[in-house]
């Protein structure tokens, strides 16, 4: 199985109450790829500038990430984001965004990227997401992230993009904004009526919720149609940048790596791996923690998460 | 087993986007008692005025609630709260509060109330909570709720009250405010260092989290020390007033009714019953839904909640 992701490949400047970094590897496709790399072969698609050098490529390649579809634009600058967080780490404040080479991006996927079994369209302009989706028509499972900015400025394109994918993965506030429905269960159902068979609502420190298939009637939630996990409880959170992308990388990476099995139990395990990857991501700045992670640590935390969310005796691991 | 609760016994006027009621039965001790009544014998303690009449007593007694410690003050007015909610049902806006007979309340528990096995101190002035705690010294398990107002105006009294109970049950923002610690896991640990063996963080629509015993070292969460449940997903939420008190009633009611077993598995089931009672409470205004609830509906929703939160096959019910 193989996974293609399109999205920003960037440098970030971040300041939190617990430290700061003036220039570090970042971007949605980077966080996603690092998280997914523990489960499957992942191929990020996107442009970088001259400033993206050997050090960055080597970090990605050290995790087995296939970098052939990272397009290096001569004379260009990589996407750059500067932001900060106050004591409420749930809220990112953007201080500067420089699109750089991303401003002229025209996706041209290699045959290998086009042949992916699983596709993730990270948060970029929705018409670009649709172009990538069209080039990757054979993917059996596809996901999409977006943000309030595109809901406000390119809603028709975004709705068209959503109608073409299997699983929407956005913040719960964005699901409400997209549908104009304040009740999350109703909002998720409205999204599924547009095409996707699944909706993941990211909830920051409160974790994530998965809506699938029939939502049932009021109160009963339907059969196997709702699942939720809390965020993994951490006493030290240093930088939440990339948490949502790491979640998505763990989720789609696990699904692709486990053979694309989309039954409810496997989707729930994927939610667990997404939660675990997001939790490691926020322990340190940028990609620092995930870059030196190993699969044993991931599985150990997955079992800890299982123990923290089950009513009774801990079932034996199935994987 | 028997359960005593002290707190407001009130009339509420509530307006939400889904309707309004000009005067309905309410108050923390009422919502708590109705929820707990499905599991054990519960005895609310508190004053009411002349306006609290046969209709209100009959509703409580229809659920088997023991009303001997509801003190009817001749010539007095019952506690009254008027509030409204906008489309974000997580935020209550208070428009009016009239303490009425609660302004002169001096708790005098009957021998039966004093003999309770389990005690809950709902959100009232912390010195009153301490007086009740002192009169109910034999209770093997005690809980306490509070609010931002008491943290701001009576913090020393509140800290003393917290040091005398077993389980703090407050909103997550209040745990942070109380401890001055923005990280919830650290804040819960700080509360347990004051005395309580357990902390429940209520999180509105995101559910509730339980911290118990040793918090372990960073990242591993300790052994059986953290448990979290999402709010039960509902497509129709009409009035969130009393949700937190209904949660506490389900939680402490179940623990008392199951014989005071405080092992981790029973605490987790209690979290489930708290979640279920809160979810019924918000489906209609005030006490309307819970007043006509039956135990079969509760257990059915508990099983639905279990299915929505477990990674794998649904275990057979143990109760």
Report pLDDT digits (tens) over A4-38: 999 999 999 999 999 999 999 999 999 999 999 99
Residues of B in contact with A87 (CB under 8 A): 182
Is a pLDDT exceeding 50 seen at residue A85? yes
Q: State whether residue B252 is helix, strand or coil.
A: helix
Report pLDDT digits (tens) over B57-86: 999 999 999 999 999 999 999 999 999 999
Smallest CA–CA distance, residue B311 to chain A, in Å, is: 6
- CA A16 – CA A88 distance, rounded (Å): 10
CA dihedral A178, A180, A185, A190 (to 10 degrees): -70
Residue A90's pLDDT is 84
Residue A88's pLDDT is 84
Considering only alpha carbons, which residue of chain A is nearest residue B313? A265
CB contact under 8 A, B235 and A224: no
Domain range summary for chain B, segments of one domain joined by +: 2-139+234-309
Q: How does residue B319 score in pLDDT terms, banded at 50, 70 and 90?
A: very low
- CA B175 – CA B151 distance, rounded (Å): 10
Q: State whether residue B175 is helix, strand or coil.
A: helix
Q: How does residue A218 score in pLDDT terms, banded at 50, 70 and 90?
A: very low
CB contact under 8 A, B226 and A234: no
Residues of B in contact with A237 (CB under 8 A): 183
**Burial (CB count <10 Å: 0-12, 13-18, 19+), residue A134:** exposed
- SS3 letters across B42-100: EEEEEEECCCCCHHHHHHHHHCCCCCCCEEECCCCCCEEEEEEECCCCCCEEEEEEECH
Q: Which residue in B311, B312, B318 has the most chain A C-beta atoms within 10 A of its own C-beta, making it the best mutation to test that interface?
A: B311
Look up the CATH architecture of domain A2-309: 3-Layer(aba) Sandwich (3.40)
Q: How does residue A196 score in pLDDT terms, banded at 50, 70 and 90?
A: very high
B/e letters for B48-75, b = 16+ CB within 10 Å, e = fewer, are bbeebeeebeeebeebebbbebbbbbee
Q: Which residue in A270, A308, A313 has the most chain B C-beta atoms within 10 A of its own C-beta, making it the best mutation to test that interface?
A: A308
- CA B6 – CA B43 distance, rounded (Å): 9
State the count of interchain CB pairs (< 8 A) between A and B. 117
Residues of A in contact with B269 (CB under 8 A): 311
- CA A33 – CA A9 distance, rounded (Å): 10
Mean pLDDT, chain B, whole residue set: 93
CB contact under 8 A, B311 and A265: yes
Residue A129's pLDDT is 98
Order of strands across the sheet that contains B92-98: B19-26, B10-16, B79-85, B92-98
Residue A214's pLDDT is 56
- CA A293 – CA A273 distance, rounded (Å): 13
Instruction: Quote the pTM value.
Output: 0.93
Smallest CA–CA distance, residue A72 to chain B, in Å, is: 38
Report pLDDT digits (tens) over A107-141: 999 999 999 999 999 999 999 999 999 999 999 99
Residue B218's pLDDT is 45
Residue B241's pLDDT is 97
- CA A112 – CA A115 distance, rounded (Å): 5
- CA A5 – CA A122 distance, rounded (Å): 7
Smallest CA–CA distance, residue B159 to chain A, in Å, is: 23
List beta partners, residue B142: B119
Q: How does residue B312 score in pLDDT terms, banded at 50, 70 and 90?
A: confident
- CA B25 – CA B13 distance, rounded (Å): 9
Residues of B in contact with A183 (CB under 8 A): 234-237
Q: How does residue B313 score in pLDDT terms, banded at 50, 70 and 90?
A: low
Give the mean model confidence (pLDDT) for residues A299-313. Answer: 91
Q: Which of B205, B209, B218 sits opposite A235 (nearest CB)?
A: B218
Is a pLDDT exceeding 50 seen at residue A316? no
Residue B161 CB contacts under 8 Å (≥ 6 apart), including other chains: B121, B126, B127, B129, B130, B133, B144, B146
Q: Which residue matches tokens 């389990």?
A: B118
Closest CA to A226 of A256, A276, A194, A184: A184
Cβ atoms within 10 A of the Cβ of A1, count? 17
Give the mean model confidence (pLDDT) for residues B225-245. Answer: 96
Report pLDDT digits (tens) over A159-181: 999 999 999 999 999 999 999 99
| Count of residues making up chain B | 319
CA distances from B42 to A16, B32, B255, B257 (A): 48, 9, 12, 10
- CA A96 – CA A83 distance, rounded (Å): 7
Give the mean model confidence (pLDDT) for residues A217-225. Answer: 49
- CA A106 – CA A129 distance, rounded (Å): 11
Predicted ipTM of the assembly: 0.91
8 Å CB contact between B282 and B243 = yes
Q: Which residue in A275, A311, A312, A315 has the most chain B C-beta atoms within 10 A of its own C-beta, making it the best mutation to test that interface?
A: A311
| Count of residues making up chain A | 319
Q: Which residue in B91, B191, B219, B239 has the most chain A C-beta atoms within 10 A of its own C-beta, making it the best mutation to test that interface?
A: B219
CB contact under 8 A, A315 and B318: no
- CA A29 – CA A121 distance, rounded (Å): 9
Q: Which of B207, B236, B268 sits opposite A218 (nearest CB)?
A: B236
The DSSP output letter for B11 is E
Torsional class of B184: left (φ above 0), alpha (ψ -120 to 50), beta (otherwise): alpha
Residue A100's pLDDT is 96
Ranges A87-96, A263-272, B37-46, B153-162: which has the least confidence: A87-96
- CA B255 – CA A107 distance, rounded (Å): 59
8 Å CB contact between B208 and B199 = no
Give the mean model confidence (pLDDT) for residues B154-169. Answer: 98
- CA A152 – CA A125 distance, rounded (Å): 12
The proportion of chain A whose per-residue pLDDT surpasses 70, expressed as a percent, equals 94
- CA A37 – CA A17 distance, rounded (Å): 30
Instruction: Identify the CATH assignment for B2-139+234-309 out of 3.30.930.10, 3.40.50.300, 3.40.1190.20, 1.10.3080.10.
Output: 3.40.1190.20
Q: How does residue B214 score in pLDDT terms, banded at 50, 70 and 90?
A: low
Smallest CA–CA distance, residue B106 to chain A, in Å, is: 40
Q: Which of B219, B224, B308 sits opposite A221 (nearest CB)?
A: B308
Structure tokens at A220: 């009963």
Angle between helices B126-135 and B155-163 (to 10 degrees): 30
Considering only alpha carbons, which residue of chain A is nearest residue B319? A312
Q: Which of B185, B205, B301 sits opposite A233 (nearest CB)?
A: B185
Order of strands across the sheet that contains A19-26: A19-26, A10-16, A79-84, A93-98
8 Å CB contact between B98 and B71 = no
Smallest CA–CA distance, residue B182 to chain A, in Å, is: 7
Residue A102 CB contacts under 8 Å (≥ 6 apart), including other chains: A8, A46, A47, A79, A124
- CA A198 – CA A264 distance, rounded (Å): 11
Is a pLDDT exceeding 70 seen at residue A317? no
Is a pLDDT exceeding 50 seen at residue A319? no
Structure tokens at B67: 């009303």
Considering only alpha carbons, which residue of chain B is nearest residue A267? B311
């Amino acid at each position: 199985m193989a996974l293609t992701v399109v999205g920003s490949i960037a440098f970030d400047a971040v300041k939190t109450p617990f430290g700061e970094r003036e220039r570090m590897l970042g971007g949605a496709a980077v966080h996603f790829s690092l998280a997914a790399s523990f489960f499957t072969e992942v191929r990020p698609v996107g442009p970088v500038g001259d400033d993206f050098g050997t050090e960055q490529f080597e970090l990605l390649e050290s995790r087995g990430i296939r970098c052939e579809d990272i397009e290096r634009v001569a004379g260009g600058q990589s996407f750059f984001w500067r932001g900060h967080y106050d004591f409420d780490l749930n809220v990112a404040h953007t201080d500067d965004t420089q699109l750089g080479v991303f401003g002229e991006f025209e996706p041209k996927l290699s045959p290998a990227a086009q042949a992916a079994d699983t596709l993730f369209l990270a948060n970029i302009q929705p018409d670009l997401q649709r172009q990538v989706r069209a080039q990757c028509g054979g993917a059996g499972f596809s996901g999409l992230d977006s943000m309030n900015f595109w809901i406000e400025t390119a809603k028709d394109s975004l709705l068209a993009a959503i109608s073409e994918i299997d699983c929407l993965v956005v913040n719960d506030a964005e699901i409400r904004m997209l549908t104009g429905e304040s009740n999350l269960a109703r909002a998720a159902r409205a999204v599924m009526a547009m095409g996707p068979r699944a909706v993941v609502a990211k909830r920051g420190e409160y974790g994530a919720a998965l809506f699938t298939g029939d939502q049932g009637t009021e109160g009963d939630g339907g059969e196997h149609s709702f699942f939720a996990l809390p965020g993994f409880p951490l006493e030290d959170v240093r930088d939440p940048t990339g948490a949502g992308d790491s979640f998505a990388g763990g989720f789609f990476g696990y699904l692709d790596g486990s053979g694309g099995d989309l039954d409810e139990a496997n989707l729930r395990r994927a939610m667990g791996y997404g939660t675990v990857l997001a939790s490691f991501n926020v322990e340190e700045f940028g990609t620092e923690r995930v870059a030196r992670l190993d699969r044993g640590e991931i599985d150990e935390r997955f079992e800890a998460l299982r123990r923290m969310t089950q009513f009774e005796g801990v079932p034996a691991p199935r994987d």
